Structure 1
């Protein structure tokens, strides 16, 4: 299959790179010409525009920063959608919006796949990230070879819209974990405990998590650059709150997370890195929550391997 990839930012550029590295015929597009040139240098073709990419490719992937951006790109592609064409949405978006856009694709005779990723930029870079895919089974079988070049664990979760709901749920959990880790590390520092030892104590305990094993390292090294900005966090946890409101679920922690992230954005800027939330506590206490020996950037040290479908236990 010829594959188009639109949106070459922090995550999209790495996913597109995995396709190129695995020998897929890829056409790319981004508003940033330097991102496109970088992909072309590694073997991609400059697709020039969303419309031209949809005309030339069997499947077109979008990985964009907002539901509005995805809608605008799809609008350009839609006249060129027809039988056999597939639109694959890898952005973190609104479940209702992806269903609306997927219906437009279906009306043109094409197929839509809702397939956001989870696992961090460092795993996107090595093809070891996880992917949720929502579409009919026949379409899933068609795109599975593409997905396994970008991710290690591929979960078919049913209909379009379900992956986007699951993705904002996982990002809500990650945000809650980040903020509680900020508090835990600061309290341990205030109590006089060694933070390197504290890191290991958490990692070997019931309190550990993916967020601890990744973002805590960047907090402690002082790098605080996880390639995920506060505005994106706010978008995701806001979408999770919207789902809860629609379903009449009275949440208590979620509104507090939104309030805390609002404060972080007001202090450091909407596009500040999310792990800078630790600095709110550093400022409040006068403490430096850092320790020697931790990395300035995350590197996935697991070897790349071809992905596979995760089978659901029933």
Structure 2
């Protein structure tokens, strides 16, 4: 059991809403909620969440507050607002995908105010968020990880301790970058195979039986690439570009210039500029196989 008695959750988007619903349903604790989208708040409140008028109101009532926000640009002001109240939470847990250096700086700033900060970004799909089977990468002390694991396990089936503050973000960012690079490679393989007269779906089925098998092949490849299915509101290109840019920032901080990651980022930016913005990111295959033409070369 968690030592915390009251919880908070801010950010009820595509991932945050089902995550929060699982926390409400499984934790057995009161969960105070806030989002700018009143409809999302209403839906979670109907499932047992306790609606609040602002992020500060959540912080005034919760021992630990979970954030699921677009980026560190939103995380920083919300976290500062939570830590600035007369009654502040003991811990803030950032489940967004956030810049590593800024996350570590924010953790130090909040620690000085008496509030602990842990990064715990999530991986896998919106369906996994609904089922509570997310992969959650935790950056913080061992003690913090053990304190949070019962709560995080309400939202994820795999809760991993990755190291100190920021390491959860490192794992999540590089996980996503690996997926983007693999989707790029799969797009090239699919294009070569189709032009050689092979049915794309059959090609991927056969590859899945050999050493080319991977999670990305079975999911992004079989469910999206070969079916030309790139719906909106399912990890769109614009989100993928943001995460890839975080990976390149990590590389730059380490004085490393990655070639495959940079090329993949460049392709995604070209696809974005050609109009693929809100579609599921494997839509990059349409650029790779020549169905869409890039407007210009975008340098990372």
TM-score by length of 1: 0.85
| Contact persistence 1:81–1:108 (CA under 8 A) | no
* 1:16 maps to 2:20: yes
The 3 A distance-change label for structure 1 pair 12 and 155 is same
Aligned equivalents of 1:90 and 1:7: distance in 2? 10
Given candidates 212, 218, 221, the residue that maps to 2:224 is 218
**Which residue pairs with 1:36 in the alignment?**
41
Report the alpha carbon displacement of residue 218 of structure 1 after superposing the two structures with TM. 2.1
Q: Is the 8 A contact 1:114 1:163 kept in 2?
A: yes
Which among 250, 258, 262 is matched to residue 265 of structure 2? 258
Whole-angstrom distance in 1 between the partners of 2:89 and 2:68: 21
Residue in 2 that maps onto 1:227: 234
**Could you say what secondary structure the match of 2:7 adopts?**
strand
Query: 1:291 is matched with which residue?
Result: none
- The 10-residue stretch of structure 1 (220-229 or 13-22) with the greater mean CA deviation from structure 2: 220-229
Report 1 or 2 for greater relative contact order, CA contacts < 8 Å, sequence distance ≥ 6. 1
* Cα distance in 2 for residues equivalent to 1:31 and 1:111: 25
* Partners of 2:169 and 2:19 in 1: CA distance: 18
| Cα offsets for 1:208-254 (capped at 9, x unmatched) | 22112111212333331371011211111111111111111232112
Q: What are the within-5 Å matches in structure 2 for residues 242-281 of structure 1?
A: 242-281=249-288
Runs of 5+ consecutive residues of structure 2 not aligned to the other structure: 293-300
**Aligned with 1:93 (options 98, 101, 105):** 98
Report the alpha carbon displacement of residue 133 of structure 1 after superposing the two structures with TM: 0.9
Structure 1 gap ranges (5+): 286-314
- Determine the structure 2 residue equivalent to 1:199: 204
Flag the 1:269–1:196 CA change in 2: closer, same or farther, 3 A.
closer
Deviation of residue 18 (structure 1)? Answer: 1.4
Alignment size in residue pairs: 286
Q: Specify the alignment match of 1:144 in structure 2.
A: 149
Alpha-carbon separation, structure 2, partners of 1:59 and 1:3: 5
Cα distance in 2 for residues equivalent to 1:111 and 1:66: 19
Match of 1:189 among 188, 194, 197: 194
Q: Is the 8 A contact 1:27 1:46 kept in 2?
A: yes
* Contact 1:113 1:134 (C-alpha < 8 Å) held by counterparts: yes
Work out the CA distance in 1 between the residues paired with 2:262 and 2:204: 28
By how many angstroms is 1:20 displaced? 2.0
137-146 vs 174-183, greater mean Cα deviation: 137-146
TM-score by length of 2: 0.89
How far 1:115 sits from its partner (Å)?
Answer: 0.6
